[in-house]
Amino acid sequence: MSALNDTSVIFDLDGTLVDSEPNYFEAGRGLLAARGVTDFTWQDHEEYVGISTRETLARWKERYGLAAPLADLLAEKNRRYLELARASTRVYPQMARFVELLHGAGVPMAVASGSSRAAIGAILAGTGLDAWLTTYVSADEVDHGKPAPDVFLAAAERLGAAPARCVVLEDAVPGARAAKAAGMRCVAIPYVPEQADDPAFAAADLLLRGGQAEFSAQTVLDWLRG
């Protein structure tokens, strides 16, 4: 059996399969602006790339003194995000090609994301990725979000795959840490180029320092085949 045939692939969603960070930024900026916080910038947003929506909002409650219950903030953020996501979410072309190639090779695949389950489902359906990616896990369904390994371990369990035989594709530092904590190999595709030298990315099994601009479906498939 080839290395590829004994491998399962787990994708992060936001910033890895799709360029959804602009939508998350707008959803968060709108939520904060409605509460009088009008100076939230893209640079502020970058601090939370790779962290679950729930954890991000918990930090915002403390940082910005938000009085609303976390559950209410979460519902509003998800509502704002889904409106934007359904209108427009861009799939990275080489990622879509990679998913197609893996599907054609019979490789089991899953998505493990810090987004809500509703958001994951909406994006996969809206982009057509649900034709190949039918198994997915939200950080809302496990005890701890990234950088804890829970969401990746849950995805492996649903695939019936041993963690050591899984390869994770990740764009963010918390996700790269989570992949290693889960005992999985990691392909790192930094969404924020300035983070490429972070130790978590340096520890990845394959680091594409140029992010999506450097990602090639065929090249990574060949790497998986060893």
Catalytic positions: 12
Residue with tokens 């496990």: 142
Q: How far apart (Å, rounded) are the C-alpha atoms in residues 11 and 18?
A: 11
* Interatomic CA distance for residues 20 and 138, integer angstroms: 16
> In angstroms, rounded to a whole number, what is the distance separating the alpha carbons of residues 31 and 223?
42
Instruction: Please count the other Cβ atoms lying within 10 Å of the Cβ belonging to residue 86.
Output: 14
Measured over the CA atoms of residue 206, residue 210, residue 211 and residue 215, the dihedral's sign is negative
Q: What is the end-to-end Cα distance of the chain in Å, rounded?
A: 13
d(CA 81, CA 86) in angstroms, rounded, equals 9
In the block, tokens 């399962």 appear at: 8
In DSSP notation, 51-76 reads: S-HHHHHHHHHHHHT--S-HHHHHHH
> Residue 205 has which token pair?
């099994």
